[in-house]
Amino acid sequence: MNRLANFYKGKKVLITGHTGFKGVWLTAWLNQLEAQVIGYAIQPPSDPNSFEACRMTDHMTHISGDVCNASQVEEVFETHKPDIVFHLAAQSLVRYSIDEPANTYSVNVIGTVNVLEAARKCDSVKAVISVTSDKCYKNQNWQWGYRETDELGGLDPYSSSKACAELVVSCLSNPRYQKSAGSKTVTPIASVRAGNVIGGGDWAADRIIPDIFRAIVNKDDVTIRSPNSTRPWQHVLEPLSGYLWLGVKIVEQPDAFLGGWNFGPKNDDIWTVQDIVNGILDRWQTKNTKLIIDEDKSGAESQLLKLDCSKAQQLLDWSAIWNVPTVLDAIVAWYQQYLLEPNADMYPLLITQIKQYSADAEKAGHAWAKAH
Amino acid sequence: MSFWSGKKVFVTGVSGLIGQHLLAHLSELGAELALFTHSSIIMPTDIPNYNKFKGDISNKQDIETALVKFPADLVIHLAAQSQTSNENIRDTFQTNTLGTLNLFEAVSAVRPNASVILASSIAVQFPDNMYAPSTYAASKQCAEIIAQNYSAARGINCMVIRLGNTYGPGDHHNQRLVPSLIQAMLNKEKIQLRSNIDTETNLLYVEDAVNGFLLVGEYLLQDKRLYSALTLCANMNVTTRELVSSLSKILDLSANVALNENLSLKVAEHAILPSELLVSTLGWQPKVKMSDGLEQTVNYYRQTLNIQGTD
């Protein structure tokens, strides 16, 4: 049993947005750690989706609801009295946000106010991890990685709404605010900033991995707009290990692990969009799908994005574990099983990959993965 | 003929301190005004004619309908919830953040060539990047991020004005520092402070603030500059102690301050100064001396409270 299992076993954990790609992986991991998971979210974001492919309703308490509904959010807290809260519910698509900014800001800003307020008012809650994005930083087009103290902002509604969500956290996590709002004890709230998470089970629109597998299924080519763009690609389990470990540390020492936290890959492991597509197509060994480059110079998405994860490295002893080839192996394994075995329950593969990742982390000597 | 003659100006938040003074000036300068307001407030009689649109800033459709009818050259967005409390934190973000989003959505849908001035506050310039000092500051910084987004992504010509603490005749927010001090003194009540008496405040007289809005509006309409955030404030801070002493002189009575050593002392870490663009390019300076501004304000509260000073 590693230190995460030692902590989460038997804990009540509330996840908002558990029907999303990241939420499913987090739920599976917490189940593997023997936590009791309660999820609050709207319907899964796509069809197909990993929530259904993994039969998640068998593995948790699933509550259907919208984070914009403040009274229902409070009711969920009052009924289930969670120990730890992971707030993942968000409108997470850049392209959609350009067409629907109002919905994006409502969910990402007011939704965060609702969840953090409900958590503050609920005595059982010992730690809240609010998930925003690495896109919350104002793009400076510089060559350095963004640090947690850098200026917030965003050039598309999604990024800007995540910058606003960060400000909501900075306001509601303030002990002075909480005390003046009538809290007897301060509820520790931290925000986590990761992005470009990839892994099995994502079917969102306009994301590179789902786009590649849709193309493979349909025997289409993959067209990319920014072949040389780099993103801090990382397997979804990497930031999740950081979120889970941060939850442990906050409960152990409530005032020592607050503020924002970047979780990103190592700086020598940054791949371009082109490399990712070729890596997957090579592994799949398909002749029906080719890479087409149709370069878009409008600059709609920022070209250079790198995170400085020194804070997590120094204070949490956290860093990314899987290199990009390992990540691509895991992803291809996932989608191949899904496509070759129609209607297969994908949950066991989630657990297998989580165990593999935890074993690799233990071997590499990461603090959270050590046997307790 | 003034620059503003015939200019079509759409204003939200007309009943606030700045709104009242700004409208009086724009009207006198010949601007054609549209007032967007949620209440059926009675406007001062010295504004002869204006278009009035009843609506809610939380409802994008209301703003859009008004802007369809009124071909605004300039939109001045003053509407905000400035007196925030812990019970209405959701409303604060709803009004100040999503209200600003609604405004920009409506402008970009209906009047994409209009210029926008967003009123913000020096409160957003907080040095601590872990905690926002107040709900108000956080909600306003979110509004600025939205303005910046619409300027960059949709090309809306926009400037943000970060105001110091504005005071003057017509302020209905009785909890603000200047109105609360004057009213307590006029009523001969003990003054209960919420922060240490040596806490510094950047106080700006409303007429100076309005003058800044007019200069920025003129600049925006002529020059078409894309997004920037300007600081419109006094050149120096004043302590509550100095403020009370000035008011004592004007009112010719001694203040009865409940001194409380437990109140935290908030001292500005660095002086906040008006933006270079305002001072150098537009030639703006605060012109009204604090003693004169306070006297005007005291006279207003004397009349409205119907209290006689010591003659």
- Domains in chain A: boundaries: 3-297+304-369
The rounded distance, in Å, linking the Cα atoms of A162 and B52 is 35
- Kindly report the nearest CA distance between residue B238 and chain A, in angstroms: 25
B147: contact with A, CB 8 A cutoff: no
Task: Look at residue A65 and tell me whether its pLDDT is greater than 70.
Answer: yes
Dihedral of the alpha carbons of B135, B140, B146, B149, in degrees to the nearest 10: -120
Decide if A174 and B94 are in contact by the 8 Å CB cutoff.
Answer: no
B204: contact with A, CB 8 A cutoff: no
The rounded distance, in Å, linking the Cα atoms of A304 and A231 is 7
The rounded distance, in Å, linking the Cα atoms of A213 and A336 is 9
List all residues of chain A from 175 to 214 with a beta carbon under 8 Å from chain B. Answer: 175-177, 180-182
B130: contact with A, CB 8 A cutoff: yes
Given this structure, which CATH class describes domain B8-172+203-234+271-287?
Answer: alpha beta
Decide if A160 and B149 are in contact by the 8 Å CB cutoff.
Answer: yes
Nearest to A42 by CA among A59, A6, A18, A70: A18
Decide if B137 and A171 are in contact by the 8 Å CB cutoff.
Answer: yes
- Kindly report the nearest CA distance between residue B11 and chain A, in angstroms: 22
- Kindly report the nearest CA distance between residue B133 and chain A, in angstroms: 7
A149: contact with B, CB 8 A cutoff: yes
- Kindly report the nearest CA distance between residue A182 and chain B, in angstroms: 9
Q: Helix, strand, or coil here: A271?
A: strand
- pLDDT, residue A329, reads 97
Please check whether residue A153 is in contact with residue A133, taking contact to mean a CB–CB distance below 8 angstroms.
Answer: no
Residue A225 structure tokens: 């707009």
Residue B147 structure tokens: 């303005």
User: For the segment B32-76, what is each residue's pLDDT rounded down to a tens digit?
Assistant: 999 999 876 666 556 778 899 999 999 999 999 999 999 999 999
Q: Report chain B residues whose CB lies below 8 A from the CB of A170.
A: 129-132, 138
- pLDDT, residue A268, reads 75
What string of pLDDT tens digits covers the 311 residues of chain B?
A: 799 999 999 999 988 899 999 999 999 999 999 999 987 666 655 677 889 999 999 999 999 999 999 999 999 999 998 877 777 899 999 999 999 999 999 999 999 999 999 999 999 987 777 899 899 999 999 999 999 999 988 999 999 999 999 999 999 888 899 999 999 999 888 888 888 888 899 999 999 999 999 999 999 999 777 789 999 999 999 999 999 999 999 998 887 887 776 666 666 656 789 999 999 999 999 999 999 999 999 999 998 876 544 44
B91: contact with A, CB 8 A cutoff: no
* Amino acid (one-letter) located at A11: K
Nearest to A201 by CA among A19, A75, A38, A30: A19
Q: Report chain B residues whose CB lies below 8 A from the CB of A101.
A: 101, 105
B40: contact with A, CB 8 A cutoff: no
- pLDDT, residue A199, reads 96
First to last CA, chain B: 43
By C-alpha distance, the chain A residue nearest B88 is: A181
- pLDDT, residue B267, reads 61
Decide if A171 and B105 are in contact by the 8 Å CB cutoff.
Answer: no
Q: Report chain A residues whose CB lies below 8 A from the CB of B57.
A: none
Nearest to A360 by CA among A331, A321, A325: A321
Place of tokens 């609010």: A130
A293: contact with B, CB 8 A cutoff: no
List all residues of chain A from 47 to 86 with a beta carbon under 8 Å from chain B. Answer: 70
A160: contact with B, CB 8 A cutoff: yes
- pLDDT, residue B311, reads 42
Whole-number percent of chain A with pLDDT over 90: 81
Nearest to A185 by CA among A130, A123, A257: A123
* ipTM attached to this prediction: 0.91
* CA dist B73 → A32, A345, A354, B49, B116 (Å): 60, 60, 58, 18, 9
Q: Report chain A residues whose CB lies below 8 A from the CB of B101.
A: 101-102, 105
- Kindly report the nearest CA distance between residue A109 and chain B, in angstroms: 8
By C-alpha distance, the chain A residue nearest B59 is: A102
**E strand map for chain A:** 12-16, 36-41, 61-64, 84-87, 127-131, 189-193, 197-198, 222-224, 230-231, 234-235, 259-262, 271-272, 291-293
By C-alpha distance, the chain A residue nearest B61 is: A102
Task: Look at residue A357 and tell me whether its pLDDT is greater than 80.
Answer: yes
Q: How far is CA A140 from the centre of its chain?
A: 24
By C-alpha distance, the chain B residue nearest A108 is: B98
Task: Look at residue A46 and tell me whether its pLDDT is greater than 80.
Answer: yes
A367: contact with B, CB 8 A cutoff: no
- pLDDT, residue B310, reads 45
CATH topology assigned to domain A3-297+304-369: Rossmann fold (3.40.50)
B148: contact with A, CB 8 A cutoff: yes
Decide if A167 and B142 are in contact by the 8 Å CB cutoff.
Answer: yes
Residue B99 structure tokens: 């209200």
Which range (A10-14, A347-351, B132-136) has the least confidence?
A: B132-136
Picking from B121, B129, B158, B227 by the largest number of A CB atoms within 10 A of its own CB, the best residue to mutate is B129
Which range (A115-119, A177-181, A242-246) has the least confidence?
A: A177-181
Q: Report chain A residues whose CB lies below 8 A from the CB of B139.
A: 167, 171
Domain ranges, ordered by start, for chain B = 8-172+203-234+271-287
Decide if A117 and B94 are in contact by the 8 Å CB cutoff.
Answer: no
Please check whether residue B244 is in contact with residue B255, taking contact to mean a CB–CB distance below 8 angstroms.
Answer: yes
Picking from A105, A107, A191 by the largest number of B CB atoms within 10 A of its own CB, the best residue to mutate is A105
Neighbours of B283 (CB within 10 A): 8
Decide if B90 and A114 are in contact by the 8 Å CB cutoff.
Answer: yes
**E strand map for A172-273:** 189-193, 197-198, 222-224, 230-231, 234-235, 259-262, 271-272
Place of tokens 């020492």: A253
Minimum-distance CB partner of A113 among B93, B131, B134: B93
Q: How far is CA B75 from the centre of its chain?
A: 15
Please check whether residue B171 is in contact with residue B179, taking contact to mean a CB–CB distance below 8 angstroms.
Answer: yes
CA-angle at B97, arms to B93 and B101, nearest 5°? 145
- pLDDT, residue B309, reads 46
Q: Which residues of A29-53 are buried (b: 16+ CB within 10 A; e: fewer)?
A: bbbbbebbbbbbbbebbbeebbbeb
**E strand map for chain B:** 8-12, 32-37, 51-54, 74-77, 115-121, 157-163, 165-167, 191-192, 200-201, 203-205, 228-232, 238-239, 257-258
Q: Helix, strand, or coil here: A85?
A: strand
Cβ neighbours of residue A73 under 8 Å, at least 6 residues apart? A40, A65, A67, A114, A115, A118
- Kindly report the nearest CA distance between residue B139 and chain A, in angstroms: 8
Task: Look at residue A306 and tell me whether its pLDDT is greater than 90.
Answer: no
A258: contact with B, CB 8 A cutoff: yes
- pLDDT, residue A305, reads 76
Cβ pairs A/B, distance under 8 A = 90
Cβ neighbours of residue A349 under 8 Å, at least 6 residues apart? A200, A333, A334, A337
Q: Helix, strand, or coil here: B283?
A: coil
By C-alpha distance, the chain B residue nearest A103 is: B98
